[in-house]
Amino acid sequence: MSATLRIQAISGHSGAAPGAGTQRGERVAKLIDTTTCIGCKACEVACVEWNDLSFRETVFDNTYQTMPETAWNYWNLIQFREHIHPDGTLQWLMRKDQCMHCAEPGCLLACPADGAIVQYQNGIVDFQQEYCIGCQYCVAGCPFNIPKFDQTTKKMFKCTLCTDRVSQGLEPACIKACPTGCLHFGTKEDMTALAESRATQLREHGGYEHAGVYDPQGVGGTGVIYVLHDATNPEAYGGLPGNPRVPLSVKLWKGPLKWLGNLAMIGGLLGVTMHYLRFGPKHVSPKEAERS
Amino acid sequence: MILRYTLLERAVHWLSALTYMYVLATGLAFYSPHLYWIAALLGGGPTSRYWHPWVALVFVAALAWMLRAWLADMRITAADRAWGRDMKQYIRNDDENLPPIDRFNLGQKYFFWVMLFAGLVLLATGLAMWFPPSLPLALRPLMILLHVSAALITIGAFIIHVYMGTAVVRGGFTSIIRGEVSPAWARTHHRLWYHRVTGK
C-alpha cells in the first residue's frame, strides 16, 4: 500500500508531477452506507483522537446535530436531518460528512501554492500545511465546502483520509471505530462493487426503490462513496450536492483567462517595445524650444 | 520652470506606484505557478499572502486621494475629444498639428479612470476573498475570476503608462520626480494648461 503514496498531482506546480498520468497503484475508497449508520459519532471521536485535533465546542441547535459543518480541527462530522416525506412520515438521515477525495479535485486546481495540495496515486487528496499560504482559494474550488481555515496558523485543514495509516496498510481511524459496519475501506473497485450490491439489496428487499450509490462523475468520481436510501435526493442528506462540479469560474480562471492574460501581458510588452523601435521618443517641439 | 506636480502629488503618485508594484508582483506569484518564485523573493508565500491585502489598502487610499486631488483635471472635455480624434497622429509622434489640451491628455485620463474603476472592482472582490465566510459559497470563485480579470486590465494600462512616462514623453519622468517642466515642454504637450497656469 505504501507505493500508493506516489504523487500524482501537485498544486501550483510549474513542472511535471512525478506520477502524472500513470496508474501504478490501486485507488482506495471509503464506503459510507448511510442506511446502517446510527449517528453514534464514534467516527468523529476516532478522527479527533487519531489526528490529535484540539477540543472543539459543540453548537446546540435543538437537534442531534453537534455543529453546523466541519471545522479546521473537526474534519469528520455526522450530518443529521429529520427528513419528512411527502406522505408525512419522518425519517432520520445520518451522513458522515468529510472530504470526498475527488478524482478531479477543485481545491488542487485552484491552489496557487506549489506543493500545498497533493493527490496521491491511491486517490487521496492531502493538504501539506508547511506549503499552504492561507489564501483560501481551495475553498472556492471545492464543491463540498470542506477546506477550513485556521485563523491562528493561517493554514487550511481537512480530512487526510488518514494517509499516515493508509500508507502503512491500515484503514482510516473512522473506519476502525464504526460499530455498525456502515463504514468500509478498500480499493475503489471493491468498494464500488460492495456499494452496488448493497443498493440492489435495498431496492429489491429493503423497500427503498430509489436506493443507489453516490459517486459523482462531475468531479471524476470520488474516493468517498455513499449508499443512500434515496439516491435521487442527495440534498436531503445535509446538503450533499446533486451534481457537484469544479465551479465554472474556477475553470475559466485557470484556463482561458490565464491564456488570454499571458497573451495580453506579453503582447503589451512586445507592443511597446516595437512602438519604441518604430517611433521612438517624443521631444519638445523645436518651434517651442526656440521660442523660450 | 513651471510646477507641474506639487510635492504632495508626487509623494502620493509614488506611494501608489510602489504599492501597486508590490500587489502586482505578489499577485502575479499567485496567478501562475511559473511566477511563484516572485513570492519566494518577497519573503515567501505566506508573507506575500499576508501583506498583499494590507498593501492593497494603502494603494486604494492613494487612489482615493488622487481622485479628490485630480477629479477636476481628469474630466473628459471637448478639447480631449478633439485630441482623441487625432490620437493616431499622437501614437505616430506626428505631434505638430494636434489640438491643444489641458493638464492631462486623453490617454492619461483613460489610464486614471481605468485604474480607479478596476481598483474599485479589485477592492470589492479582494475584500470578499480576504473574508470568504462573508459570501455564499457559490459566489466565492466568481470573486477570484473578477479579481484576476480586473488585475489583468490594470496590468495592460500600467505597461502603457510606464512606457509613455519613461521612454516616450521625454521630460515626463523628471516632472513626476522633481515636479517641474520647462515652458517649451508645457507648450508642446499641454498648451491649454500652459496658458491657464502662466496666464500667457
Domain ranges of chain A: 2-245, 255-291
Contact A110 B141 (CB under 8 A): yes
Query: What is the tens place of the pLDDT at every residue in B33-42?
Result: 999 999 999 9
C-alpha cell at B199: 496666464
pLDDT of residue A22 exceeding 80: no
HSE-CB of A244 using CA atoms within 13 angstroms: 27
Query: At A127, is the secondary structure helix, strand, or coil?
Result: strand
pLDDT of residue A182 exceeding 50: yes
HSE-CB of A37 using CA atoms within 13 angstroms: 30
Distance CA A219, CA A189 (A): 17
Question: What pLDDT does A14 receive?
Answer: 85
Contact B170 A112 (CB under 8 A): no
pLDDT of residue A3 exceeding 60: no
Which residue of A136, A260, A272 is in closest CB contact with B132? A136
pLDDT of residue A19 exceeding 70: no
Question: What pLDDT does B28 receive?
Answer: 97
Average pLDDT, chain A: 93
Residue from A267, A265, A106, A72 nearest B133 by CA = A72
More confident residue, B96 or B6: B6
Question: What pLDDT does B197 receive?
Answer: 95
Contact B163, A276 (CB under 8 A): yes
What is the pLDDT confidence band of residue A288, given thresholds at 50, 70 and 90? confident
Question: What pLDDT does A21 receive?
Answer: 64
C-alpha cell at A278: 518604430
Distance CA B40, CA B33 (A): 12
CA distance B137 to chain A (A): 7
Question: What pLDDT does B50 receive?
Answer: 96
Q: At what angle do helices B7-31 and B140-162 cross, to 10 degrees?
A: 130
Number of C-beta neighbours around residue B57 at 10 A:
15
Residue A75 pairs with which residues in a beta bridge?
none
pLDDT of residue A135 exceeding 60: yes
> Interface pTM (ipTM) of the complex?
0.91
Which residue of B141, B148, B187 is in closest CB contact with A141? B141
Distance CA A113, CA A82 (A): 41
Query: What is the tens place of the pLDDT at every residue in B47-86?
Result: 999 999 999 999 999 999 999 999 999 999 999 999 999 9
Q: Which residue has the cell 472556492?
A: A140
What integer is the mean pLDDT of B110-134?
Answer: 95
Q: Which residue has the cell 496521491?
A: A120
What is the pLDDT confidence band of residue A25, given thresholds at 50, 70 and 90? low
pLDDT of residue A23 exceeding 70: no
Query: What is the tens place of the pLDDT at every residue in A58-91?
Result: 999 999 999 999 999 999 999 999 999 999 999 9
Contacts of A79 (CB under 8 A, 6+ apart): A65, A93, A94, A95, A96, A97, A237, A238, A239, A240
Task: Find the helix or strand (DSSP H, E) in which A118 lies.
Answer: strand A117-120
Distance CA B191, CA A230 (A): 77
| % of residues, chain A, pLDDT over 90 | 85
More confident residue, A3 or A276: A276
pLDDT of residue B130 exceeding 60: yes
- Helical spans, DSSP H, in B86-180: 87-91, 106-130, 140-162, 172-178
Which residue of B32, B49, B156 is in closest CB contact with A134? B49
Contact A247 B30 (CB under 8 A): no
Phi, psi of A183 (to 5 degrees): -105, 135
What is the pLDDT confidence band of residue B134, given thresholds at 50, 70 and 90? confident
Class of B2-198 in CATH: mainly alpha
Fold of A2-245: Alpha-Beta Plaits (3.30.70)
Contact A275 B141 (CB under 8 A): no
Which residue type is seen at A10? I
Average pLDDT, chain B: 96
Residue from B101, B102, B112 nearest B71 by CA = B112
Q: Is B11 on the interface with A (CB under 8 A)?
A: no
Contacts of A269 (CB under 8 A, 6+ apart): B159
What integer is the mean pLDDT of A164-183?
Answer: 94
Which residue type is seen at A280? G
